[in-house]
Amino acid sequence: MNAAYLYLAIAICSEVIATVSMKAIKGWSTPIPLLLVIVGYATAFWMLTLVVRTIPVGVAYAVWAGMGIVMVSIAALFIYGQKLDTPAIMGMGLIVLGVVVIQLFSKTAGH
């Protein structure tokens, strides 16, 4: 596996942790979720800066954002009980399909 894709995976996971933690923030009375948001986003953007040195920005961002959307939705289902309707699930399926197409067929994906 290319190191850039490892950094991209770390960026995605960090962003998911940060985004999901936002819901739990209730001002300064909840320091752990606040810390997860700050550290999560800082790590995500730091890793993303390493990724774009190798992978084109558009491809890196498409994979990062697309997989982040899907993973945040899955985490929100299990952590907060937030369910998605059929059109939302279908739309996210198309996002995943788009990421797969980029990874399998694009010559700009940085393989």
Q: Report pLDDT for 93.
A: 93
Q: Report pLDDT for 1.
A: 58
The two tokens of residue 80 are 């907060």
What mean pLDDT comes out for the span 81-86? 94
- How far is CA 40 from each of CA 17, 46, 110, rounded to the nearest angstrom? 6, 10, 25
pLDDT digits (tens, 9 = 90+) for 35-83: 999 999 999 999 999 999 999 998 899 899 999 999 999 999 999 999 9
Q: 25: left (phi > 0), else alpha (psi -120 to 50), else beta? A: beta
Q: Report pLDDT for 49.
A: 96
| 3-state class (DSSP) for residue 25 | coil
Sign, CA torsion 69/74/77/83: positive
pTM reported for the whole predicted model: 0.87
DSSP string, 87-108: HHHHHHHHHHHHHHHHHHH-TT
pLDDT digits (tens, 9 = 90+) for 89-104: 999 999 999 988 988 8
Asked whether the predicted pLDDT for residue 27 surpasses 90, the reply is no
